[in-house]
Amino acid sequence: MLDVLVRCQVLLAIRMREAEGSERGDVPGWVLITVMTAGLVAGLWAIAGDTLSRMLTQALNSVRG
């Protein structure tokens, strides 16, 4: 799943470079980047959610003392 998301992000970056000269503006590019970032986060969370939660809890507990 992560491979697919990375490929999509690379293709998006290529298309954004190609469309730099267009007059449509950059809003669609930013929307797609935001959606792809959310997809990557969701994918990582689905794969390693429990581990990430434990790491966050341990980090917060170490700061509290």
| HEC string for the chain | CHHHHHHHHHHHHHHHHHHHHCCCCCHHHHHHHHHHHHHHHHHHHHHHHHHHHHHHHHHHHHHHC
Calculated CA dihedral for residues 27, 32, 38, 41, nearest 10 degrees: -130
Is 90 exceeded by the pLDDT of residue 39?
yes
Say whether pTM exceeds 0.95: no
* 3 vs 57, higher pLDDT: 57
Q: How confident is the model at residue 26 (pLDDT cuts 50, 70, 90)?
A: low
Given a cut of 70, whether residue 36 has pLDDT beyond it is yes
Residue listed under structure tokens 């509290």:
64
